[in-house]
Amino acid sequence: MMARIRLRITPLAGYLCVLAFYSGMMFLSVISEKEKAASLTLDSEEPAFIRLHKSSRSKNDNVALQDVADFFDRISTLETRCRKMVRFGGTFCKGYLDNEKYVCMDDDVLLRSRNCTVYSFGVGADTTFDDTASYYGCDVFMFDPTVNGTELQMSNTKRETFYPWGLSARHYKQNFTIEFDDKPSALIVGEFTTYEDIRKRLSHQERDVNYLKIDIENMEWSVLPQLVRDGHLDRVSQLAIEVHTMDIIIAPPEKVLPMLQSYWQILESLKQLGFLRAKHRFNTVLESTYLDRAHNRSLSTCMEILYIKRGFNRRSQLQRHLPPPDVSL
């Protein structure tokens, strides 16, 4: 006859068992949450890519555009997140803020006050961005062939310098007038030249450009390929572009998608240099919209985009501390 074993659990033992079970479950929960957070948490020095809800979008970035809406959906999808985004300048026009530029202040791309350089192509009559950047402590070099420099109202001339040059893929001069309040200006002789030529004129060949602003009214499509091809963006950490696609408004329907495809390929080439979209905003002031009949949707053809090159400051610091190459003379 087998002996019957009775197990008696005291209230204290039961409490300890429940506590141990609960503690184990909490530990597993914490581990699980940490694993999730590790995939999403932004590092203080180099933020991670944004995890897109539609993974197919990132996979199709190099695939031909499906339709017009596909271009605008892709270009408005961010590729990295800036933890410390600030706005420089801007004025209100027709109830909307215009001409403001966004600057990322994360450590790896930070504009260091008293030791930063800004190139501002396309100043127009609004210097609020340039003024803000100069008061922050940057040396601001302003360019625009359509502006009379003597009439430009700069509020910090100690750090702001203006040049009546336009950014182009080649050097040339052009005569034109500008209409303001339906009144044409006097004849202007505008000089356009290349980024490389401007750098040489300023003796800036070895100088980092911490913030490059390009607002050159549709000429970005000829300038950007040259900047990418010739390596002129190697010393740039933040690139702000006002993108113009209003040509599709008057283009024949069969030409629209090929035009947008060429624009997309140019912008995608920036990724090969390490630039990622950190900010996107459609410009609603210009009132230049395209009617996408396929989706019954009005699309703004002008937008502000900020690209940043992650880890730029760390790479620059590392390069400065590398020993000189051992070259036999």
Tens of pLDDT along 104-127? 999 999 999 999 999 999 998 889
Contact at 8 Å (CB) between 227 and 195?
Answer: yes
pLDDT at 152: 81
pLDDT, tens digit, 9 for 90 and up, residues 277-301: 999 999 876 568 999 988 898 999 9
- Amino acid 42: pLDDT: 36
Topology of the domain comprising 55-320: Rossmann fold (3.40.50)
Rounded to whole angstroms, the Cα distance separating 227 from 196 reads 9
Question: Between the CA of residue 77 and those of 49, 50, 167, 281, 297, what are the distances in Å?
Answer: 11, 10, 28, 11, 18
* CA 290/CA 313 separation, integer angstroms: 40
The reported pLDDT for the residue numbered 43 is 37
pLDDT for res 157: 86
Amino acid letter, residue 69: A
For the chain, the distance separating the N- and C-terminal CA atoms, rounded to the nearest angstrom, is: 100
- Residue 227: both structure tokens together: 């900047």
Q: pLDDT tens-digit profile of 157-184? A: 899 999 999 999 999 998 877 766 666 6
Q: Where are the alpha helices (DSSP H) in the chain?
A: 11-40, 55-59, 68-75, 128-136, 195-201, 220-229, 247-250, 253-269, 312-321
Rounded CA separation 323/321 (Å): 6
| Residues in the chain, pLDDT under 50 | 1-7, 26-57, 322, 325-329
143 in Cβ contact with 163 (< 8 Å)? yes
**Residue 315: per-residue pLDDT:** 81
Tokens of 15: 């409490």
Q: Where are the domains of the chain?
A: 55-320
Partner residues linked to 192 by β-bridges: 166, 172
Cα separation of 104 and 202, whole Å?
Answer: 26
Burial class (CB in 10 A: 0-12, 13-18, 19+), 128: middle
Q: What is the pLDDT of residue 177?
A: 73
Between the CA of residue 228 and those of 139, 153, 169, what are the distances in Å? Answer: 24, 33, 12
Per-residue model confidence (pLDDT) at position 31: 41
